[in-house]
């Protein structure tokens, strides 16, 4: 059976979620729980690192859609990073790059949150 797991790391006030394996209709609830937990702790600055994600179906894409508005209403965002070409192509086919910021590296995505923070001061 295909595996999917995640891990979460805090870097300052940014939470980085690492995806590993196969994200489909069976495993999507794992990521849903991650987002729900972050929101319950008022952590709205989220970077999702796709480096070790092998596969995503529309059920996985749906998870991002379920939480994004709530997160943005709280001055946060979900920024995506380090996608393989294969996974990016699926996002691109469906027009997701219009709604989500996608960065090559995790550092860039985290930095973006820090820049916004500076502007807010």
Where on the chain is the footprint of another protein (CB under 8 A)? 1-2, 22, 24-26, 55, 57-59, 61-62, 65-69, 86, 90, 93-96, 98-99
In the complex, least distance from residue 109 CB atom to another protein, rounded to whole angstroms: 20
In the complex, least distance from residue 121 CB atom to another protein, rounded to whole angstroms: 29
Alpha-carbon torsion 101, 79, 50, 59, what sign?
negative
H or E segment to which residue 113 belongs? helix 106-120
What is the DSSP secondary structure assignment for residue 107, as one 8-state letter? H
**Toward another protein, which CB reaches closer, 11 or 54?**
54
**Toward another protein, which CB reaches closer, 24 or 108?**
24
**Toward another protein, which CB reaches closer, 25 or 116?**
25
Sheet holding 14-23, edge to edge: 4-11, 14-23, 45-56, 77-81, 102-103
**Toward another protein, which CB reaches closer, 98 or 119?**
98
Give the C-alpha distances (Å, rounded to integers) separating 24 from 12, 40, 43, 103: 30, 24, 25, 23
In the complex, least distance from residue 9 CB atom to another protein, rounded to whole angstroms: 26
């Amino acid at each position: 059976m295909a595996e999917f797991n995640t891990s979460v790391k805090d870097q300052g006030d940014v939470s980085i979620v690492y995806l590993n394996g196969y994200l489909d209709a069976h495993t999507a609830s794992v990521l849903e729980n991650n987002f729900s937990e972050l929101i319950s702790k008022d952590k709205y600055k989220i970077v999702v690192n796709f480096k070790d994600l092998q596969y995503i179906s529309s059920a996985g894409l749906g998870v991002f859609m379920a939480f994004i508005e709530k997160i943005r209403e709280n001055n946060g965002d979900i920024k995506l990073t380090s996608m393989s070409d294969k996974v990016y192509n699926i996002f691109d086919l469906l027009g997701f790059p219009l709604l989500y910021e996608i960065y090559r590296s995790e550092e860039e995505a985290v930095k973006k949150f820090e820049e916004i923070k500076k502007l807010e001061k």
